[in-house]
Chains A and B, each alone.
Chain A
Amino acid sequence: MPAIEVVLYSGAIGLSIIGLTGLLLLNNVFRMLLALVILESGVNLLLILSGFRLAGVAPVILPEQLSNLSAIVMNDPVPQALVLTAIVIGVGVQALGLAMILRIKAQYGTLNMLKIREQLEFDLAVQSGVATPVSAHSPVSLASGRERQLSNHKDEQ
């Protein structure tokens, strides 16, 4: 394998590993979205590399080359078309994730993954009737879970 391909493959795999590590280890939801973007870029680079030839040219056939088509060495255009679509879809996924993060921030008032999960599990337990809406640590009141969240939200701010 030529040295340039080794460098490019290490870049693509390194980018994917960095993105996956961030997705697994980070605690902030917004930063997890950024890690997802990085993982996506690494996969795109890997896909383009699968159609890369060292002596290849851009996949365009000029009119004067039509006489001897077999002499042309070009990069594979199919992965390039695939990646072209994947980039645009990636931005769409990113916008969807951002909208979800905005709703999470409006509902729970935090971006911390652990706090969000705790609140979400508590809400699920309340809705299924397993837990009572008032926790043992708060003063007894008739406040519903939704109002309790709102007061928590105010406290954090």
Chain B
Amino acid sequence: MIWIVSIVVLVMLASAIAVLVLPNMIAAVAAASVVSLALAVLFALMKAPDVAMTEAAIGAGLSALLLAMGLKRLGLWQLED
């Protein structure tokens, strides 16, 4: 249990730093989605299943979709940087 939680927390913190330093905006949005997904796993491990479901559906899914559509409109949707 402690090892699973440690690994998930490490992945979460690493992708949170990646959001701030990655030069490509699509990669930054994807890293923000990974943060939300790791957070959902943590909530499920902490015996809060309802919050985990909401975080996975809304925090990782809808929010990433919203940000990606915003990127498209801002003209930052470039795979090569």
Q: Point out residues on A near B: beta carbons under 8 Å.
A: 3-4, 7-8, 10-11, 14-15, 18-19, 21-22, 26, 30-31, 33-35, 37-38, 41, 44-45, 48-49, 52, 56-58, 75, 80, 83-84, 87-88, 90-91, 94-95, 98, 101-102, 105, 111
* B39-A8 in contact (CB<8A): no
* A7-B9 in contact (CB<8A): yes
- What 1/0 flags go to B1-37 for Cβ under 8 Å of A? 1100110010011001101100001001100100110
* B20-A31 in contact (CB<8A): yes
Give the A-B contact count at a CB cut-off of 8 A: 117
* A35-B1 in contact (CB<8A): no
Q: Measured between alpha carbons, how far is A102 from B71 in the docked complex, in Å?
A: 9
Q: Measured between alpha carbons, how far is A84 from B51 in the docked complex, in Å?
A: 6
Indicate which residue in B13, B20, B51, B59 contacts A11 across the interface (CB closer than 8 Å).
B13
Nearest CB in chain B: distance from A65 CB, A: 15
Chain A residue with the shortest CB-CB distance to B7: A7
Q: Flag whether B80 is at the interface (Cβ < 8 A).
A: no
* B66-A94 in contact (CB<8A): yes
Task: Kindly list the 9 A-B residue pairs having the minimum CB-CB distance in the complex, ordered from nearest.
Answer: A11-B9, A98-B70, A22-B20, A18-B16, A58-B47, A80-B48, A4-B2, A38-B16, A14-B13
